[in-house]
C-alpha cells in the first residue's frame, strides 16, 4: 500500500471561516483541547461535567436538570430528540421552510412517526396562525417541531408565543437552536421549550463534535412513559441522563473528553462576554455586512424583521457566478463563505458571522475582497463603496453609543 | 446563577491512564488538535479524509472502499453497524460472554431484530462449534456478531475460521474491534469480516470521539437492499458513504474536524511504528505485567491462549478491597486502572496497556505502586518481588533478542 500524502504532517492554512459553520475558534479553546486526558469516570471529570451543565443552563436560559452535551454533532442532537420523543404512530407538526425542517420531517418518519408538515416558502417564517390551525385540526399532536435559525435561508423563527399554544394542546415544543445559541436570545424556560438542541461549531465557536441539549421535565416524562424502547441505544436519553446525573453517574459510553475540555472553555468565553454584549456584537456586524453587500447588489433573502444576524443569506446579482467567485475567495483570500442548498443552490450565498467569526475586521476584509472580485467580473460597482458603507455603520454605532452614554 | 468552579481554567492533573480506555495520547496527537479549523467541505479537508481512509485501511488490513471514521465514539460504531445491517425480523447470532456482547444483543433487539444468543461464561471465548451448530440450526441468519476483544473480561475471541463459516451459511460477519485495533492483528480481508468497527481511545491512542469503521461490498449491498429505511439518519451509512466517497462528497453532517486532525496523526504514529513492532510491544509489556501481578496473588481471568495483551483482567486476592485500593492508586500515585463490570464488579481489575500506555516504565511504576499498597493492606508479599518479576521478563526478552539477532 503506498502512503504518499500521509508521510507528512497535516498543516492546514489559515482560513477566515465566514460560512455557515464551523466558525473560528478562540486560541484558548484550542489550547484546552491539549490538556492531558483523564478518565471519563475520574472524580475530576465528573466535576467538569457539572461545570458544563451549569454553563449550558446559562446559555439556554433554563433550569432544566437534563442539560448536557451529547457525544455527536448538532445532527446527533436533532436525531436524539426526535428518536426519544417520537414513537411509532405519533403525530408531529413540523415547520418546513428550509433544509433543516425538511430533515426533521424525514427523521420523524424514520422513527415511525407521522410528520404533519407546515410548509412555507424558503426565506419565510412558519406563521404562528398556521401552527395554531394545524394543532386545532390534527389533535392529538405529540410535538411541534420548529427551527429557530434556519441555516439554509437565514430566517429567524419567532418562538415567543408557541410554547403556550403547545401546552394548550398537550403538545411538546421541540426547537432546533443549532445556529442561534450564543448569537441571539434562546430562552428555553421563558418560551416554554421542551427539547432544545444546538451544535458547538456555530455561535459557541468550539470545534464541531458535540451537541448541547436540554430537555424539560415534561419531555423526560414522555421518554419514561414510552410504549416502545427507543430504537437508538447510543442516543437513548434515559440512559444518558443516568451518566450525567451526579447522583448516579452510571457508565454509558466513553465521553469525548478532549472535546468537552474545549466546550467548557468556549462556554466560559461566552459567559465572560455577557449575553447582551454578545448579541449586540452579532447584530452590529451583520448590519454592517449587509450595508456593504447592498452596494454590490446583494439583498437579504428574509425580511428585515426575521433576518438572522449570524447567518446572512443574500441573493446574487445576475452577473455573479456563484462557484467561481467562492473558489476565488477561498484561493486568493483564504476566505470561506457558503453557497446555497437545495432549491437555492447557485442563487444565494450564506455568509456566517458566528461567535469568533463575527468581528468588524472580518466584515471589512470580506467586503474588500468581494469588491475586488466583482469588479474583476465586470460588475458596475464603485471600488471602495462596500467597505465604506460598512464603516459608516460602525461609525454611526459609535456615535450613537456616545450620545446615549 | 452562581458559577463558582467555572471561574477558573480547567487544569487536569497528569494521570497515568492504565484503565480500559482512554489510553495516554502522544503529544503530537494533542498538538494536531490545535491546528486551525478549515471547513468540512474545503478541498484540503477532503484530502485529509482521503488520508484517513488510506491509513485506516492499513490498520484494518482491508481494501474495502467504505473505510471511514464515524462521528461518534466506539458505541456509535457498534450502533451504526447494527442499525444499518439488522432490519425488523432479521435474525442475528450474537456471542455473549461479557458486557459488549450483551449490549450488541440489546441493540439487535432495539432494531426489531431477533438476537440468537450464544452465551459463554465471562472470561471464556465463544466456541467455533457453538457458532457452527447455531448457524446450521437457525437458518436463515442475517449476521453473526462477535466481540474480538471483550473489554469487560480481557478475552481474545479467535476469528480466523468464522468468516468462511458465515459465507457458507449466507450470513454477514460483524466484529467489534474497539479494543483490539492497533494492539493485536485485526485482519478484516483475510478473515472475511463484513463489518468491523473500533474506537479511537484504546490502542490507537487518540482521544475518544470517533469510531473507525469498515464495511465490505457485501455489507454495503445488504444496506442498499434494505426493505425498510434505517431508523437512524445520523448513522445512515448509505448517506455517510456519499460524503466520504471522493466522487460525490455529498454533505451529510459537519464532521468533527479537530478530532479528525488528531486521528490522522495518531494513525501516522501507528504506521510509523510498524505492525509487528507494535504488536510485540503490547505482548511483552503485558507478559511483564502479569508476571509481576502473579507475585501479588493476582491471576488472569482468561486462559493463557485467549488472553488480550492490551487489557489484563485479573482476579483479586481475598484481602484486597477493590474500590479502596483503586482510589488510593488514583489519589497517591495518579494511576487509573479499571474495576470489574456487571457480575465481575468488586472481584477483578482491568488493567489497560493500550497504545501509548503500553510502556515498560508504566508497567514498573504500576507494579511498584501496587506492591506498596498491598503491603500497607497487610498482604504477605515480599517488597520488590513484583517489580523484579517484570524486570526479569524484560531482561529475558532482551537476551532472547540478542541470541536470535
CATH number at residue B320: 3.90.1150.10
Q: How many domains does chain A have?
A: 2
How confident is residue B224, by pLDDT bands cut at 50, 70 and 90?
A: very high
Nearest residue to B282 (alpha-carbon basis) of B233, B353, B214:
B353
Identify whether residues A214 and A302 lie together within a single domain. no
Cα diameter, chain B: 69
pLDDT, chain B, mean: 95
Q: Is residue A16 part of a domain?
A: no
Q: What is the pLDDT of residues B12-68, one digit of tens each?
A: 999 999 999 999 999 999 999 999 999 988 999 999 999 999 999 999 999 999 999
Which chain B residues are closer than 8 Å to A264 by Cβ?
Answer: 6, 10
Q: Say what the pLDDT of residue A405 is.
A: 43
Q: Say what the pLDDT of residue A141 is.
A: 98
Identify whether residues A296 and A182 lie together within a single domain. no
Identify whether residues A186 and A139 lie together within a single domain. yes
Question: Which residue of chain A has the CA closest to B72?
Answer: A72
Identify whether residues A147 and A71 lie together within a single domain. yes
pLDDT, chain A, mean: 95
Residue where one domain finishes, among candidates B248, B271, B294: B271
Q: Is residue A14 part of a domain?
A: no
Q: Is residue A260 part of a domain?
A: yes
Distance (Å) from the C-alpha of residue A86 to the closest C-alpha of chain B? 12
How confident is residue A248, by pLDDT bands cut at 50, 70 and 90?
A: confident
Q: Is residue A19 part of a domain?
A: no
In chain A, the percentage of residues whose pLDDT exceeds 70 is 98
Domain of A203, CATH number, reads: 3.40.640.10
Pick among B33, B335, B345 to test the A interface (most A CBs inside 10 A): B33
Average pLDDT over every residue of B207-220: 98
How confident is residue B379, by pLDDT bands cut at 50, 70 and 90?
A: confident
What is the pairing mode between strands B335-336 and B16-17?
A: parallel
Cell numbers of B240, please?
455517510
Identify whether residues A206 and A80 lie together within a single domain. yes
Provide the sign of the torsion angle of the four alpha carbons B167, B168, B171, B177, taken in this order: negative
Q: Is the pLDDT of residue A368 over 50?
A: yes
Q: Say what the pLDDT of residue A404 is.
A: 52
Distance (Å) from the C-alpha of residue A168 to the closest C-alpha of chain B? 30
Q: Say what the pLDDT of residue A403 is.
A: 58
- Residue A254 CB neighbour total at 10 angstroms: 24
Which chain A residues are closer than 8 Å to B252 by Cβ?
Answer: 75
Q: What is the pLDDT of residues B84-134, one digit of tens each?
A: 999 999 999 999 999 999 999 999 999 999 999 999 999 999 999 999 999
- Compute CA distances B202 → A247, B12, B13, B33, whole Å: 28, 20, 20, 18
Identify whether residues B290 and B199 lie together within a single domain. no
Cell numbers of A321, please?
457566478
Q: What is the DSSP string of A323-359?
A: HHHHHHHHHHH-EE-EE--GGGTTTEEEEE--GGG--
Q: Do the Cβ atoms of B207 and A6 come within 8 Å?
A: no
Contacts of B380 (CB under 8 A, 6+ apart): none
3-state secondary structure chain B: CCCCHHHCCCCCCCCEECCCCCCCCCHHHHHHHCCCCCCCCCHHHHHHHHHHHHHHHHHHCCCCCEEEEECCCHHHHHHHHHHHHCCCCCEEEEEECCHHHHHHHHHHHHCCCEEEEEECCECECCCHHHHHHHHHHCCCCCEEEEECEECCCCEECCCCCHHHHHHHCCCEEEEECCCCECCECCCCCCCCCCEEECCCCCCCCCCCCCEEEEECHHHHHHHHCCCCCCCCCCCCHHHHHHHHCCCCCCCCCCCCHHHHHHHHHHHHHHHHHCHHHHHHHHHHHHHHHHHHHHHCCCEECCCHHHECCCEEEEECCCCCCHHHHHHHHHHHHCEECEECCHHHCCCEEEEECCHHHCCHHHHHHHHHHHHHHHHHCCCCCCCCHHHHHHHHHHHHHHHHHHHHC
Pick among A14, A40, A236, A254 to test the B interface (most B CBs inside 10 A): A254
Average pLDDT over every residue of A78-91: 98
Q: Is the pLDDT of residue B404 over 60?
A: no
Residue where one domain finishes, among candidates B253, B271, B289: B271
B306 against B321, higher pLDDT = B306
Identify whether residues A167 and A293 lie together within a single domain. no
Question: Which residue of chain A has the CA closest to B200?
Answer: A256
- Residue identified by cell 471600488 is A383
Residue where one domain finishes, among candidates B246, B271, B296: B271
- Measure CB to CB from residue B6 to each of A5, A14, A55 and give the nearest one: A55
Q: Say what the pLDDT of residue B3 is.
A: 53
Identify whether residues B227 and B320 lie together within a single domain. no
Q: Say what the pLDDT of residue A3 is.
A: 53
Q: Is residue A11 part of a domain?
A: no
- Residue identified by cell 483523564 is A38
Q: What is the CA radius of gyration of chain B?
A: 22
Q: What is the pLDDT of residues A310-352, one digit of tens each?
A: 999 999 998 888 999 999 999 999 999 999 999 999 999 999 9
CA distance B153 to B148: 12
Identify whether residues B297 and B384 lie together within a single domain. yes
Residue B32's domain comprises 27-271
Please check whether residue A150 is in contact with residue A123, taking contact to mean a CB–CB distance below 8 angstroms: no
Question: Which residue of chain A has the CA closest to B199?
Answer: A254
Q: Do the Cβ atoms of B30 and A30 come within 8 Å?
A: no
Q: Is residue B8 part of a domain?
A: no
Q: Do the Cβ atoms of A72 and B271 come within 8 Å?
A: no
Q: Do the Cβ atoms of A258 and B13 come within 8 Å?
A: no
Q: Say what the pLDDT of residue A1 is.
A: 47
Identify whether residues B110 and B41 lie together within a single domain. yes
Provide the sign of the torsion angle of the four alpha carbons B345, B348, B351, B352, taken in this order: negative
Q: What are phi and psi of A195, to 5 degrees?
A: -145, 125
Q: Do the Cβ atoms of A5 and B50 come within 8 Å?
A: yes
CA distance A85 to B21: 32
CA distance B302 to A72: 35
Q: Say what the pLDDT of residue B12 is.
A: 94
Q: Is residue A10 part of a domain?
A: no
Identify whether residues B205 and B137 lie together within a single domain. yes
Which chain B residues are closer than 8 Å to A326 by Cβ?
Answer: none
Identify whether residues A299 and A254 lie together within a single domain. no
How confident is residue B1, by pLDDT bands cut at 50, 70 and 90?
A: very low
- Measure CB to CB from residue A232 to each of B6, B47, B79 and give the nearest one: B79
How confident is residue B195, by pLDDT bands cut at 50, 70 and 90?
A: very high
Please check whether residue B241 is in contact with residue B84, taking contact to mean a CB–CB distance below 8 angstroms: no
- Measure CB to CB from residue B10 to each of A15, A234, A261 and give the nearest one: A261
Amino acid at each position: 500500500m503506498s502512503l504518499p500524502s500521509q508521510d507528512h504532517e497535516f498543516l492546514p492554512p489559515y482560513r477566515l471561516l465566514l460560512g455557515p459553520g464551523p466558525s473560528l475558534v478562540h486560541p484558548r479553546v484550542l489550547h484546552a483541547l491539549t490538556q492531558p486526558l483523564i478518565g471519563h469516570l475520574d472524580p475530576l471529570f465528573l466535576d467538569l461535567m457539572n461545570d458544563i451543565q451549569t454553563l449550558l443552563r446559562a446559555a439556554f436560559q433554563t433550569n432544566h436538570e437534563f442539560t448536557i452535551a451529547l457525544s455527536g454533532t448538532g445532527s446527533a442532537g436533532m436525531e436524539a430528540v426526535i428518536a426519544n420523543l417520537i414513537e411509532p404512530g405519533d403525530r408531529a407538526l413540523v415547520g418546513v421552510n428550509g433544509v433543516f425542517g425538511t430533515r426533521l420531517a424525514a427523521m420523524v418518519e424514520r422513527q415511525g412517526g407521522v410528520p404533519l408538515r407546515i410548509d412555507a416558502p424558503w426565506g419565510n417564517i412558519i406563521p404562528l396562525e398556521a401552527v395554531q390551525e394545524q394543532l386545532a385540526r390534527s389533535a392529538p399532536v405529540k410535538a411541534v417541531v420548529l427551527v429557530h435559525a434556519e441555516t439554509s435561508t437565514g430566517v429567524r423563527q419567532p418562538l415567543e408565543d408557541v410554547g403556550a399554544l403547545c401546552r394548550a394542546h398537550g403538545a411538546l415544543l421541540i426547537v432546533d437552536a443549532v445556529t442561534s445559541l450564543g448569537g441571539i436570545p434562546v430562552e428555553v424556560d421563558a418560551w416554554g421549550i421542551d427539547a432544545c438542541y444546538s451544535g458547538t461549531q456555530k455561535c459557541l465557536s468550539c470545534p464541531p463534535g458535540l451537541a448541547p441539549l436540554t430537555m424539560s421535565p415534561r419531555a423526560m416524562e414522555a421518554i419514561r412513559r414510552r410504549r416502545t424502547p427507543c430504537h437508538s441505544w447510543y442516543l437513548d436519553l434515559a440512559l444518558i441522563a443516568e451518566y450525567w446525573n451526579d447522583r448516579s453517574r452510571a457508565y454509558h459510553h466513553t465521553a469525548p473528553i478532549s472535546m468537552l475540555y474545549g466546550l467548557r472553555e468556549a462556554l466560559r468565553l461566552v459567559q465572560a462576554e455577557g449575553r447582551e454584549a454578545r448579541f449586540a456584537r452579532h447584530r452590529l456586524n451583520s448590519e454592517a455586512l449587509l450595508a456593504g453587500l447592498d452596494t454590490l447588489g446583494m439583498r437579504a433573502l428574509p425580511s428585515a424583521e426575521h433576518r438572522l444576524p449570524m447567518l446572512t443569506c443574500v441573493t446574487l446579482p445576475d452577473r455573479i457566478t456563484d462557484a467561481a467567485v467562492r473558489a476565488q475567495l477561498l484561493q486568493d483570500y483564504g476566505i470561506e463563505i457558503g453557497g446555497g442548498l437545495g432549491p437555492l443552490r447557485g442563487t444565494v450565498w450564506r455568509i456566517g458571522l458566528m461567535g469568533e467569526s463575527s468581528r468588524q475586521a472580518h466584515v471589512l476584509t470580506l467586503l474588500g475582497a468581494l469588491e475586488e472580485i466583482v469588479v474583476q467580473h465586470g460588475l458596475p460597482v464603485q471600488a471602495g463603496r462596500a467597505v465604506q458603507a460598512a464603516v459608516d455603520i460602525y461609525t454611526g454605532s459609535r456615535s450613537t453609543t456616545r450620545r446615549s452614554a
